[in-house]
Copies of this chain bind each other. A is one copy, B any other.
């Protein structure tokens, strides 16, 4: 891992930013007569270029990237259309057997089974229903607009990553099928070698690893710094819950937009800080300007909120219902929170390096968090499990004796619901033979995550430590 987060380095980065506007001796270098006449000489937006090279490697090449972008489009379409279909084109009365279907002319007069097509409305009736409903048409239009916007973005990506693919094959000489055998370190080494042949970067003759890291991680480093200095308003003090941290994917997106790439952001050219932010005189004025931008973004968020909410509910329903049915225990699974990923990140640490570090800390962190149990919750869970389990036991016994019981209304629903209740309850009851050693577990976690507040030391068994850890290591379901 490359960690050179000294002050000098930052100075140098800042200094470089200036240079980029007026590369020293640009005229001297652009028209080099000798050397290879390739299209990767003097790349203007090196930040973006290196980032794309990194992503191309991390996301396993062109086919994978494009396929997943394509599927994202299809998923969006699917969710929208399937939901519309479910709300408008299914006759639930038939499905729930509240309405009698008569298959006249059936070959088996005695047998009158409902089939799926019986419950689906004919196309004309369906379209009529949709056309009548103004809201649905509005939502569908919104969705269509958004989809087209994403389609355009995907096509842009496709073109730009096709270029990266060519770069990998022609310049770095890594054929597509071999890509998975190369680590990022190896790709980077080839990149540095290549710079000597063809000057991708024209400000310097030689690229170092640090140069590449700096460019890929320019904005990430700012974010890490802001989180470490607690500059971002992510700590909230709620009346009942106490000190909580709110830092969702959406908030992060908004922060990045405001600071880095949105209209009115602090950066020009997408890679260097606007000079006016470096003069201390205009601070107040710029702060006001920024607060205006934040207000506008806030209003935009408020307006878009219902659509995003609906989308998130639909998407969560389609994604997680089945998981919760199959293994309700996964509700209790945890992941490193978005805040944790920034708080624990080193400066100049690439995504895959951070991920590897956090992955190694995942198991001990899970064990550490699981070794705490709320005794009161345990008592409730045990008793709820007993009562639900008792009723379930009777229903199971009756079912095994004669499965006609299942045809009684709501018995199957009861069995399913009680089963889930019992499983969830049991996940709250600690194992009888659990070994309690929080201090060692926290040491294990620390060995990988590297940062730890001082007051955790020697207090691994305290609830406060656990609660602070929980801010970094959230329930998956929360996000």
Which chain B residue has the least Cβ–Cβ distance from A388?
B322
B contact residues around A433 at 8 Å (CB): 335, 358-359, 362-363
Which chain B residue has the least Cβ–Cβ distance from A416?
B400
Cβ contact within 8 Å between B116 and A409: yes
- With A100-B108, A116-B410, A393-B317: A360-B435 Cβ-Cβ less than 8 Å: yes
B contact residues around A318 at 8 Å (CB): 386, 389-390, 393
A124 at the interface (CB under 8 A from B): no
- With A379-B67, A403-B410, A435-B360: A386-B116 Cβ-Cβ less than 8 Å: no
Within 8 A of B (CB), among A317-333: 317-323, 325-326
- With A359-B433, A379-B67, A396-B321: A326-B111 Cβ-Cβ less than 8 Å: no
Q: What string of 1s and 0s marks CB contacts (under 8 Å) between A101-142 and chain B?
A: 000000010110111101100000000000000000000000
A406 at the interface (CB under 8 A from B): yes
**A95 contacts which of B386, B396, B408, B412 (Cβ < 8 Å)?**
B408
Cβ contact within 8 Å between B396 and A325: yes
Which chain B residue has the least Cβ–Cβ distance from A387?
B78
A477 at the interface (CB under 8 A from B): no
Q: What string of 1s and 0s marks CB contacts (under 8 Å) between A174-197 and chain B?
A: 000000110100000000000000
B contact residues around A71 at 8 Å (CB): 379, 382-383
B contact residues around A382 at 8 Å (CB): 68, 71
CB distance from A112 to the nearest CB of B (A): 9
CB distance from A431 to the nearest CB of B (A): 9
- With A100-B108, A410-B116: A356-B435 Cβ-Cβ less than 8 Å: yes
CB distance from A354 to the nearest CB of B (A): 12
A462 at the interface (CB under 8 A from B): yes
- With A318-B386, A322-B392: A413-B400 Cβ-Cβ less than 8 Å: yes
Which chain B residue has the least Cβ–Cβ distance from A394?
B86
Q: What string of 1s and 0s marks CB contacts (under 8 Å) between A216-234 and chain B?
A: 0000000000000000000
Cβ contact within 8 Å between A111 and B100: yes
Q: What string of 1s and 0s marks CB contacts (under 8 Å) between A69-99 and chain B?
A: 0010011001100100010000000011110
* Interface residue range, chain A: 35 or more
A432 at the interface (CB under 8 A from B): yes
Cβ contact within 8 Å between A412 and B389: no
- CA of A435 to CA of B96 in the docked complex: distance in angstroms? 48
CB distance from A150 to the nearest CB of B (A): 16
**A408 contacts which of B119, B317, B398, B416 (Cβ < 8 Å)?**
B119
Within 8 A of B (CB), among A15-63: 59-61, 63
Cβ contact within 8 Å between A412 and B401: no
B contact residues around A399 at 8 Å (CB): 412-413, 416
A411 at the interface (CB under 8 A from B): yes
CB distance from A42 to the nearest CB of B (A): 32
Q: What string of 1s and 0s marks CB contacts (under 8 Å) between A425-448 and chain B?
A: 000000011111000000000000
- With A64-B376, A390-B79: A111-B95 Cβ-Cβ less than 8 Å: no
B contact residues around A110 at 8 Å (CB): 100
Within 8 A of B (CB), among A323-373: 323, 325-326, 335, 356, 358-360, 362-363
Which chain B residue has the least Cβ–Cβ distance from A377?
B64
- CA of A317 to CA of B386 in the docked complex: distance in angstroms? 11
Which chain B residue has the least Cβ–Cβ distance from A117?
B409
Within 8 A of B (CB), among A142-188: 180-181, 183
A287 at the interface (CB under 8 A from B): no
Task: Identify which of A61, A113, A419 gathers the most chain B CB atoms within 10 Å of its CB.
Answer: A113
CB distance from A83 to the nearest CB of B (A): 10
Which chain B residue has the least Cβ–Cβ distance from A115?
B409
A407 at the interface (CB under 8 A from B): yes
9 residue pairs, one from A and one from B, having the closest CB atoms: A321-B393, A60-B375, A403-B412, A318-B390, A362-B433, A97-B404, A100-B110, A322-B389, A359-B433
Given A67-B379, A362-B433; 11 other pairs, CB 8 A cutoff? A61-B375, A115-B408, A115-B409, A181-B461, A318-B390, A319-B390, A319-B393, A322-B392, A399-B412, A399-B416, A400-B417
Chosen A-B contacts, 19 in total, with CB atoms closer than 8 Å, are: A60-B375, A68-B379, A82-B394, A113-B404, A113-B409, A119-B408, A181-B464, A183-B461, A318-B390, A319-B389, A322-B392, A322-B396, A323-B389, A356-B435, A399-B413, A400-B416, A403-B406, A403-B409, A406-B412
